[in-house]
Amino acid sequence: MRITRVLSTALLALGLAAGPAAADSTPSPGASDDGKAPTRAGTSFRTATEIDQGQRATASGSTGDYLYWSFPADAGQRPTVAATVKLPASHGTQTWQIDVYDGLRRRQSCQYGAATRTAAQGTSSVELACVLRTVRAWSEPWANDPLPGTYYVRLTVVDLAAGDLGQPVSAEVRADSKHIGGAAAVDGSLAEPLVPGIAVKSAARKDGDGARSAVLSSIEPDGGWSSGWWSDRWVWTGIGGVLAALAGIGGYALTRGSGRPSRVPPNA
């Protein structure tokens, strides 16, 4: 009976721990399109149009233009950027590409997805996708790991016939992410996320100078920047300690016996 109670308690603890882990594996909820979605794109990093995760942005341009958007990504998220380019009715073979850069303007490689695609002659549209690596809360200065902060999306054509240059096109871009959880947790965190101008804003807060509080990028995740201070690794660590204690109690219950000697020595 004691062993049964111990096992029941252990299974209950595992069930409670599985709840947060399952929640972390689901995609993060995105912003709904409520008619306020951006309808233009920037032409450089400094003029990139800000979008929230889960928000569909559209823009019109011409073949040969560079179109820029930016979105926030926090520690533990695995961002996915998808783009659809609608091409004119008459065009030759074209190759389109999306590139994603972090807050330091370092190009981030795609873990998987078709970031470069060629549209054959007469194709009405081309779809692109880039799944980044999981954003880490901290990294070595020499590493190129994704870090919390602003991410930039650049969409452009990289190969086309000279006669197609300047033709009108329209594009749709959407950024989403999946929360990975404790599997991607690391020790340490950044002092500030990689958001352009946030260091100036932090200095202004310390000095009380409101005139210096401008930030080049104002977007941030829902609930603010976590910088990796919490992950389900804390939950599993606590559950591991509880299970170890229960195992010790169960082992003691099995080995201690009835507590009475099996034989009573005769009186001398």
Write the pLDDT tens digit of every residue in 28-59: 334 444 557 899 999 999 999 999 999 999 99
Q: What pLDDT score does 255 carry?
A: 82
Q: H or E element: which one contains 200?
A: helix 198-207
Enumerate residues 6+ apart whose C-beta is below 8 A from 177.
Answer: 27, 28, 53, 73, 77, 78, 79, 80
Enumerate residues 6+ apart whose C-beta is below 8 A from 83.
Answer: 98, 127, 128, 129, 153, 155, 171, 172, 173, 174
CA distance 190 to 206: 18
Write the pLDDT tens digit of every residue in 185-233: 666 677 788 888 765 555 545 555 544 444 456 677 777 777 445 556 6
Q: What is the mean pLDDT of residues 177-191?
A: 73
Greater model confidence, 90 or 224: 90
The topology under which CATH files domain 17-235 is Jelly Rolls (2.60.120)
Write the pLDDT tens digit of every residue in 110-168: 999 999 999 999 899 999 999 999 998 888 888 899 999 999 999 999 999 999 999 99
CA distance 142 to 161: 40
**What is this structure's pTM?**
0.72
Boundaries of every domain in the chain: 17-235
Rounded (5°) CA angle 65-70-71: 150
